[in-house]
Structure 1
Amino acid sequence: MPAPYSGKCLCGAVSVEIASEPLVVLSCGCDHCQVGAGGVAQVIGKFAEKDIKVSGEENLNTFTFSDTGSGNPKEKMFCKTCGVTMWTIPGAAKGSARMVRTAVLKDGLALKPKNEIYTINRPAWVKPADGANQFEKSSH
């Protein structure tokens, strides 16, 4: 599925248009992503900030995590109406990239992870993604 990408939250109050391909797609199984996804991991596309256009930004809330694996805070942006997380901005990427949840993008789950991080938390019954690089913790 080539760019551009578009997506929205469940209620449609927040939508996003992305003009470029992801810099990388990864599956993250850190504690935050597991709880946030309500599952074993979240699939995330890292997109250049300059290529992202948001509509309904006034409908977003921010939650800042300070207990991160990197030690740098990260911001989770989510719809204040339906609660869907749209993206996360790690402290090191602020102003340059957003980690967009591929599930909010139209056909976004067709984007296959190149890296799987925090595999140390992966349940034994879940197999690694074919061809994806495996990292017990963060790849950074």
Structure 2
Amino acid sequence: MPATHEGSCLCGGIQFTVTGDPFLYILCHCTNCKKASGSAFLANAWFKYEDVEVKDNNLLRTYKDIGTKSGSTLVRQFCSNCGSNVFIRPDKNNLKKGDVYIIHAPLVEGYEAWAPNRESFPEDRCSFLREIMIKPKAKSKL
């Protein structure tokens, strides 16, 4: 049975549980993610919709980000109390392979065990950052 991990915004007003590890873990270097995070990149852990249970979302607010580099509208969700960026959701019109939660990885307990497996918009990486080393998945011996 996959492990579950608790998560919350900075003030704890938005709480959630994720089941398993992210199926994708991307460091995004686009301008919008950098502005949303207030940092050099945003660590985005991708989970299937059914693997996320939002326990308390009364403080959750949304911002439709229509000016993305990819051209796809994203729904950025944040805590109205502490300002933490919590989730990114694809706009319903942009869903191609099912609904997902893109969670800011440091909000999830135990995220330190995950390793990013991709970078988005590496051409926009800040000059003081190095390229991440993505380890290839081990080949099965079966």
The TM-score normalised by the length of structure 1 is 0.86
The answer to whether the aligner puts 1:130 opposite 2:130 as a matched pair is: no
Q: Let me know the Cα RMSD of the aligned residues.
A: 1.9
Q: Aligned pair count?
A: 132
Q: What residue in structure 1 maps to residue 65 of structure 2?
A: 65
Q: What residue in structure 1 maps to residue 77 of structure 2?
A: 77
Question: What SS does the aligned partner of 2:112 have?
Answer: helix
Q: 2:103 aligns with which of 96, 100, 105?
A: 100
User: Structure 1 stretches of 5 or more lacking a match?
Assistant: 134-140
User: Structure 2 stretches of 5 or more lacking a match?
Assistant: 137-142
Shift of 1:3: 2.9
CA–CA distance in structure 2, aligned partners of residues 50 and 39 of structure 1:
29
| Cα pair 1:77 1:88 within 8 Å, conserved | yes
Q: What residue in structure 1 maps to residue 40 of structure 2?
A: 40
Shift of 1:131: 1.7
Aligned AA (1:69): K
The answer to whether the aligner puts 1:113 opposite 2:116 as a matched pair is: yes
Quick one: structure 1 residues 54 and 106, their matched pair in 2 at CA, closer, same or farther if it must change by over 3 Å? same
CA–CA distance in structure 2, aligned partners of residues 49 and 34 of structure 1:
24
Question: What SS does the aligned partner of 2:58 have?
Answer: helix
Aligned AA (2:111): G
Aligned AA (1:97): V
**Cα distance per residue 1:22-79 (max 9 Å; x no partner):** 1110100101111111111011111000111112211100011111123221101111
- Runs of 4+ off more than 3 Å: none
CA–CA distance in structure 2, aligned partners of residues 35 and 75 of structure 1:
15
CA–CA distance in structure 2, aligned partners of residues 125 and 69 of structure 1:
22
